[in-house]
Amino acid sequence: MEPAIEQALARETLKSERRRVLLLATIFTTLFFFALVRFTLFPEEFAQLFRGQLHLGMLSAGLIALVGYELIIWNALGAAASHSTRRLTVLRYMNAIEEITLPTLGILVARSIFGPLYALITPFVFIYFLFISLSALRLDWRLSVFTGLGAALQYSVVAAMGLAQVGAVAIEPRFLSMPIYHLEIAGLMVINGLIIGFVASQIRQHITTLLTASEEQERILRVFGQHVSPAVAEKLLRQGETVPNETRYVCVMFLDIRGFTQYAEHKAPEEVIAYLNDLFAFMIDIVNRHQGIVNKFLGDGFMAVFGAPLNDEHASASAVAAAQDILEMLEVVNASGGQTTRVGIGLHAGEAVTGTVGSAHRQEYTIIGDVVNLASRIEQMTKQVEARLLVSESVWEALPPECRASAIPLGPVPVRGHEEPLPLYRLA
Q: Which pLDDT tens digits describe the chain residue by residue (428 residues)?
A: 667 777 888 888 888 888 988 998 898 888 888 878 877 777 777 666 666 566 667 777 878 888 888 888 888 887 776 666 788 888 889 989 998 999 999 888 888 777 778 888 888 899 999 999 999 999 899 999 999 999 999 999 998 888 888 765 556 667 777 888 889 999 999 999 999 999 999 999 998 888 887 777 776 666 565 556 565 666 666 655 556 678 889 999 999 999 888 888 888 989 889 989 999 999 999 998 998 988 888 888 999 999 988 788 899 999 999 999 999 999 999 888 777 889 999 999 999 998 777 776 666 778 899 999 999 999 999 988 889 999 999 999 999 888 888 889 998 888 777 778 889 999 98
Closest CA to 77 of 25, 153, 31: 25
Q: How far apart, in whole angstroms, are the C-alpha atoms of residue 276 and residue 300? A: 7
Closest CA to 241 of 352, 362, 365, 368: 365
What b-and-e string marks burial along 127-160, b requiring 16 or more CB atoms within 10 Å of the CB? bbbebbbbbbbbbbbebbbbbbbbbbebbbebbe
Query: Residues 239-278: pLDDT tens digits?
Result: 555 566 788 899 999 999 998 888 888 889 898 899 899 9
Q: Is 372 exposed, middle or buried (0-12, 13-18, 19+ CB in 10 A)?
A: buried
Cβ count near 44 (within 10 Å)? 7
Query: Residues 182-199: pLDDT tens digits?
Result: 899 999 999 999 999 999
pTM for the model: 0.58
Percentage of residues in the chain with pLDDT exceeding 70? 87
Closest CA to 365 of 373, 352, 354, 374: 354
Question: Taking a C-beta distance cutoff of 8 angstroms, is the pair 116, 166 a contact?
Answer: yes
The residues that bridge with 426 in the sheet, in sequence order, are 390, 408
Chain centroid to CA 367: how far? Answer: 29
pLDDT at position 396, please?
92
Taken in order of first residue, the domains within the chain and their CATH numbers are: 3-220 (no CATH), 229-426 (3.30.70.1230)
pLDDT at position 394, please?
93
Closest CA to 253 of 342, 347, 327: 347
pLDDT at position 342, please?
92
Query: Residues 106-143: pLDDT tens digits?
Result: 888 888 777 778 888 888 899 999 999 999 999 899 99
pLDDT at position 49, please?
61
Question: Taking a C-beta distance cutoff of 8 angstroms, is the pair 349, 237 a contact?
Answer: no
pLDDT at position 145, please?
96
- For the chain, how long is the longest CA-to-CA vector? 114
